[in-house]
């Protein structure tokens, strides 16, 4: 599966639980290609995780998990193989 990160912008959402505890969700948008179909998705980032560099990546098998509802989902920390990375952006494999 191929994934394209178009911008390093990280969006943060804050919610307050009924208990009063505040949670912050950090997300970065990407485009995933499944055959001829393309979809914009949100990549979840940990609190201290840097944004993924702009570029194209192959999503490796270690990036998937089954969520609490039994659905296939992407993990927070993806294993990515850089295919192309914009000049000046460091490539990395996150595992």
- Name the token pair of 22: 């505040």
**pLDDT tens digits for range 34-47:** 888 999 999 999 88
pTM for this predicted structure: 0.74
**pLDDT tens digits for range 50-94:** 999 999 999 999 999 999 999 999 888 889 999 986 755 544 444
Distances (CA, A) of 31 to 3, 4, 16, 62: 6, 5, 29, 19
Domains, the chain, in order of start with CATH, read 2-85 (2.40.50.140)
DSSP-based three-state secondary structure for 61: helix
Helical H runs in 21-80? none
């Amino acid at each position: 599966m191929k994934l394209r990160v178009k911008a390093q912008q990280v969006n943060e959402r804050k919610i307050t639980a009924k208990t009063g505890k505040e949670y912050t969700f950090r997300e970065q948008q990407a485009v995933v290609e499944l055959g001829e179909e393309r979809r914009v998705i949100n990549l979840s980032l940990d609190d201290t995780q840097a944004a993924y560099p702009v570029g194209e990546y192959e999503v490796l098998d270690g990036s998937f998990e089954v969520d609490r509802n039994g659905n296939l989902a992407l993990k927070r920390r993806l294993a990515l193989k850089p295919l192309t990375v914009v000049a000046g952006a460091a490539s990395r494999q996150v595992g």
